[in-house]
Amino acid sequence: MYSTGGVADRFAHLVSKLESRLSGPLPAAVRFWDGSEFGPGEPGTVDDTIVIRNKRGLTYVVMRPDQVGIARGWVSGDIELEGDLERVMMAGSKLYGFDFTPREKLEAARIALAVGAVKIPPPKPPETEARVAGRLHSLRRDREAISHHYDVSNEFYRLILGPTMVYSCAYFASEDDTIEEAQTRKLDVICRKLELKPGERLLDIGCGWGSLLIHAASNYGVRAVGVTLSEEQAKLARDRISAAGLSDMCEVRIQDYREVTDGPYDKISSVGMYEHVGSSQLDNYMETVKNLGRPGGLALHHGICRMQNDDEQPNTFITRYVFPDGELHRVATVVAALEKSGQEMRDAESLREHYALTLKRWVRNLADNKADAISQIGEERERIWRLYMTASIGAFERGDVAIHQIVATIPGAKHELPLVRPGFVQPVPEVNPALTE
């Protein structure tokens, strides 16, 4: 490890002691506002450098030595990166679970105080930090949480997602697929898994900008209702439905799933929704889906699940800046709630690798349209989306999180699923005579 003097020298001794507890070198060099830096190896040999541009950036980290403190420095622009963000995030994954001892935190605070980076009161968080209030997962608070993420700019989402306007995991047949090809395939896979038929009623919970409604109505002849809590999503979804000439077949409501009362629906889709429900409401959510479905009908539940055994932490970059009140469940927890409601799981598919590919396309779209994105949502939110999507690539590639697509039947009548999965039955090969003797 090297250090070039100045503020870097103040921290170098502490960092060198921590290196012995790390499984490998630091993921990047660190440069301070005075131009001094420390890092692994020798000066000039490090590809990536984290830049703490001013004392406020260090203050955020010292006053909150966790994800929230680092996030505040990043979102505000007080902490920057010279190098490749995805490479740093992947290299830094070895630090997950690492924490400073109380003595180390105290020493870091003393150093920060000595260089003038401890402020009382601390600096205010960036404007884009979520400030939802009220009872957790009440109708009002859930609306605020959804609005924080989705009611930013429909044009921004178009820049990121492309013309399909699908904000969930795509379905790739090849890594060479475009995002438009993979997202269109995903929409069709959902429709086929739900065995959609002309004239059936489809409820899409968390319908986004209406892409699944449009695909299902135009290709499968269903009468589709979509619900969302985002006013911006609903507005654009209605415009898209009208432009497609499907206003007599599709309806979009600004409505909580708990407020839907006009069941039964033949088929129900829920894509990227149960992550917003919360563990306290998961049983009620599955019970609501069951009650809204026609006996013998089908429901498809598609969502991100965590794969670690540890409980989710309440104060993270994601919960403060991206998805307020969002919770990732274990897939076993989702299935348990589903079965408790009386739904029967009939099919499950993991799309983990598909989401990493999806995110890479979105990150590329953001990079290619960075100036336009900033003009739509501002620099803070552009930095938020850049960090959260890039970090998520590694999370899916490592298996920290996964995404599962589950098809379930609604109890009360015989279902209409085929005996085997479509496309899985192939001609039976000739029996080896040796196996019959």
Rounded to whole angstroms, the Cα distance separating 11 from 108 reads 7
Coil vs helix vs strand at 96: coil
Beta bridge mates, 406:
301, 348
- The backbone torsions φ and ψ at residue 94, rounded to the nearest 5 degrees and listed phi first, read -70, -15
Rounded to whole angstroms, the Cα distance separating 64 from 73 reads 10
Average pLDDT over residues 354-382: 98
Confidence band (pLDDT; 50, 70, 90) for 437? low
DSSP labels, 34-94 = TS-EEESSSTT--S-EEEE-SHHHHHHHHHSTTHHHHHHHHHHTSEEEES-HHHHHHHHGG
DSSP labels, 126-180 = PTTS----SSTT-HHHHHHHHHHHHTT-HHHHHHHH-TT---S----SSTT--HH
Instruction: Return mean pLDDT, the chain.
Output: 93
150 Cβ partners below 8 Å, 6+ apart? 228, 229, 230, 232, 233
117-174: pLDDT as tens digits: 888 888 999 999 999 999 999 999 999 999 999 999 999 999 999 999 999 999 999 9
The pLDDT value recorded for residue 41 is 84
HSE toward the beta carbon, residue 50, CA cutoff 13 A: 20
6-19 vs 102-114: helix axis angle to the nearest 10?
Answer: 170
Token readout for 346 is 């009939």
The pLDDT value recorded for residue 309 is 63
Confidence band (pLDDT; 50, 70, 90) for 29? very high
Rounded to whole angstroms, the Cα distance separating 187 from 183 reads 6
Average pLDDT over residues 336-346: 98
Rounded to whole angstroms, the Cα distance separating 337 from 343 reads 9
Token readout for 7 is 């503020």
CB 176, CB 195: distance < 8 Å = no
74-126: pLDDT as tens digits: 999 999 999 999 999 888 776 666 677 788 888 888 999 999 988 888 899 99
182-196: pLDDT as tens digits: 999 999 999 999 999
Rounded to whole angstroms, the Cα distance separating 332 from 340 reads 12
Rounded to whole angstroms, the Cα distance separating 146 from 127 reads 17
HSE toward the beta carbon, residue 320, CA cutoff 13 A: 19
CB 301, CB 345: distance < 8 Å = no
The pLDDT value recorded for residue 310 is 63
Closest by Cα among 16, 108, 19, 25 to 69: 108
Exposure string of 163-190, with b = 16+ CB inside 10 Å and e = fewer, is ebbbbbbbbbeeeebebebbbbebbbbb
Instruction: Name all domains of the chain by residue range, CATH numbers in brackets.
Output: 2-114 (3.30.1050), 139-409 (3.40.50.150)
Q: Does pTM top 0.85 for this prediction?
A: yes
